[in-house]
Amino acid sequence: MQAYLVLLGVLLLGYFSHNSTVTYSSAFLLVLKLVLPHDKLLYFGAHGLNWGVILLTAAMLVPLATGAIGYHEIVDVVRSPEGIAAIVTGIIVALLGKWGVEVMTRDPQMVVSILVGTILGVIFLKGVPVGPMIASGILYVFMKGFHALFH
């Protein structure tokens, strides 16, 4: 019962803060919790992140699929300072994501705090909730630095 109340609370926070992403995600998860057996809900939890990344990546590749971005545009942007900065940023974010998955797997209790921070950022700062994995990666960097300095 507690899980339903927490999800309902998050749904209401999303609704009253006019954040449809949090509202729809909470409602979707409430429905899944109502209709799926516990093991299937755990399966969704274990694989949903990968499915979300696949869907997000596919959406980002639509301009390539439609021809809106072609070979010449790709070559031009890769040669520009902004394009090079974007490549470096992409590499850094990929590393942060990798480290974030490591933290989320190794220290699941940290996920709760990161999720609370993400929800607060989405609701009150109009952020986008793609941050838990990256936030975990940043936490990984902080923890490694802290460990190196004080141990």
pLDDT tens-digit readout, 117-126: 877 887 888 8
Residues 32 and 80 in one domain: no
Domains identified in the chain, total number: 2
Q: Give dist(CA 100, CA 72) in Å, integer.
A: 35
Report the mean per-residue pLDDT for the chain: 84
Helices 81-106, 108-125: crossing angle, 10 deg rounding = 130
Lowest average pLDDT, out of 14-23, 32-41, 50-59, goes to 14-23
Of the three residues 60, 83, 100, the one that is the final residue of a domain is 60
- Structural domain for 9, as ranges: 1-60
Residues 87 and 138 in one domain: yes
Residues 88 and 47 in one domain: no
* Count of CB atoms situated within 10 Å of the CB of 87: 12
* pTM as predicted: 0.63
Lowest average pLDDT, out of 46-55, 89-98, 127-136, goes to 127-136
